[in-house]
Amino acid sequence: MTVRTRIAPSPTGDPHVGTAYIALFNWCFARQQGGQFVLRIEDTDQVRSHPASEAKILEALRWLGLNWDEGPDIGGAYGPYRQSERSAIYRGYAEQLVAAGHAFYCFRTSEEVEAIREQRRQAGLPPGFKLTNPQLNAQEVQRRLAVGEPYVIRLNVPDSGTCTVFDQLRGPIEIDWSQIDMQVLLKSDGLPTYHLANVVDDHLMEITHVIRGEEWINSTPKHLLLYQYFGWQTPTFYHLPLLRNPDKSKLSKRKNPTSILYYQRMGYLPEAVLNYLGRMGWSMPDEREQFSLADMLAEFNILRVSTGGPIFDLEKLDWLNGEWLRGLSEAQWIERLQAWAFNEAYLRPLLPHVQKRVEKFSDVISLTSFALSGNLKLNAADFHATGLLEETTRKILQFMLWTCEQEAEWNKNVVEKICSHLSQLLDLKLKLLMPPLFVAITGRKESVSVMDAMVIIGSDLTRARLRQALSVVGMPSKKELKDWQKEYQTL
């Protein structure tokens, strides 16, 4: 048997450190066994998926050096590797289950479904969504289909008993069927849900080992049921622990930067990021802290992953990155520094802004320091100097952050659109809106235009700076956050 592993990210946001973490372990597992590592893009959620997000995932994995053997960019014998290009495949499988009585057409509206959930809640029944007698007779189904009634296809799930998920890292995990929804497999738009597409693709792509995050454990009973109904061989499951913030909560962008491209822009070395991720729940047999990907591969044993939630701690990563930087030769230093920011591609966009503002080259550094720094030295006084009320400043920063988080693409047009959108939302002229943003992004009273600065430093660092600015001016209280969120959503 050839070992085949995969990562299957959904391109719905930034390339997350969690994705890189899962990719690293899948990569090591496949490489060590002489197998293949596949990259599959799970973009069945048409509303949230974005090609720019997919491009960033590929860029981030490439930067880390986690190369894949098959994927949307390079193809392979089991393609296509983007689920949106495979949509014709899934319906047949869903209908095959219907024909065998393992799934059924469901014509209930979302209001009806919610009412059934509510009845179950009130009756104190377990949370799984269940229907009694879900199966309409074939004639009735045909009649409704003929008149074009909207429907979904749902999975038949037992009402009682337990399902045993065998996780290689945790042993058997028992989950009651009563907790498990009669899951939608095919949505009313004809596209599959994650559960159907994921299982069908893992089977068709001959994935032998599914190594993914522990947040999927509760979905595994549905997946096991699908394998059983189809009569397919089940892959072996490993659920890696979730990465956590230092306060033990699930790693989130509210508390830690989570985009791999943020770490790239900040000037971390990919070796250090991989090394750090390799230490999440795993360690070298001799417990040494600094090791390369090749070292990790040589000693890799997935069964040594410990499932207690590993803490993603920036201080530790900084320390490790420093060690890596000190280990580079002079020639490597120069090469890496150039690759980071001292190169034409990064500096050229700064030029038009700098050229017209300086009198000598020695003026350049102070004017461009915003683009060559990580966190800025911000102080509250600079924000006060804008003359805006503190609350208004905080609101501008927070609304800006939310708006930026929604953008998959990043260029001058997007940034201009964001700023004018924000000016409408807050009913503030750009002239008033921009000064606090200027301080947050450039840390200075004068520099290049803030919109250009945002484009140059990129979306990840822009957001990090907005968060940093908020921490200086004062984070919104819980109540403020709630009120603002409401206001933001209704606008």
Nearer to ligand GLU, 8 or 415 (CB): 8
Q: Up-side HSE of residue 125: CA atoms within 13 Å toward CB?
A: 16
Minimum distance of ligand GLU from residue 450's CB (angstroms): 34
Distance of CA 276 to the CA centre of its chain: 18
Minimum distance of ligand GLU from residue 16's CB (angstroms): 9
Radius of gyration of the chain (CA): 26
Q: Nearest Cα to 480, choosing from 399, 365, 360?
A: 399
Of residues 137 through 196, those in contact with ligand GLU by CB under 6 A are: 194
Long-range contacts of 373-378 (CB under 8 A, 24+ apart): 373/443, 374/266, 374/267, 374/461, 375/464, 375/465, 375/468, 376/442, 376/443, 376/465, 376/468, 377/443, 378/439, 378/440, 378/443, 378/468, 378/469, 378/472
Residue 230's contacts (CB-CB under 8 Å, 6 or more residues apart) are: 93, 96, 97, 199, 203
Task: State the CB neighbour count (10 A cutoff) for residue 432.
Answer: 15
Minimum distance of ligand GLU from residue 406's CB (angstroms): 19
Q: Which of 253, 356, 395, 431 is catalytic?
A: 253
Nearer to ligand GLU, 209 or 353 (CB): 209
Minimum distance of ligand GLU from residue 8's CB (angstroms): 4
> Is residue 212 a contact residue for ligand GLU (CB under 6 A)?
yes
Angle at 275 between CA 271 and CA 277, to 5 degrees: 120
| Structure-block tokens of residue 399 | 């609304």
Nearer to ligand GLU, 8 or 273 (CB): 8
Distance of CA 427 to the CA centre of its chain: 32
Piece of the chain touching ligand GLU by CB under 6 A; list 8-16, 288-296, 360-368, 375-383: 8-16
Binding marks (x or -) toward ligand GLU, 12..51, rule CB under 6 A?
------------------------------x---------
Nearer to ligand GLU, 8 or 280 (CB): 8
Piece of the chain touching ligand GLU by CB under 6 A; list 3-11, 68-76, 237-245, 406-414: 3-11
> Is residue 198 a contact residue for ligand GLU (CB under 6 A)?
yes
The binder of ligand GLU chosen from 5, 10, 442, 462 (CB under 6 A): 10
| Structure-block tokens of residue 97 | 């289950």
| Structure-block tokens of residue 34 | 């002489």
The binder of ligand GLU chosen from 4, 8, 376, 434 (CB under 6 A): 8
Minimum distance of ligand GLU from residue 5's CB (angstroms): 10
Residue 93's contacts (CB-CB under 8 Å, 6 or more residues apart) are: 196, 200, 230
| Structure-block tokens of residue 13 | 């946001």
The binder of ligand GLU chosen from 216, 232, 402, 488 (CB under 6 A): 216
How many residues interact with ligand GLU (rule CB under 6 A)? Answer: 8
Backbone angles phi, psi at 184, to 5 degrees: -70, 130
Minimum distance of ligand GLU from residue 43's CB (angstroms): 9
Piece of the chain touching ligand GLU by CB under 6 A; list 5-13, 157-165, 244-252, 333-341: 5-13
Q: Note if 253 is an active site residue.
A: yes
Which residues are part of the catalytic machinery?
253
Question: Where does this chain bind ligand GLU (CB under 6 A)?
Answer: 8-10, 42, 194, 198, 212, 216
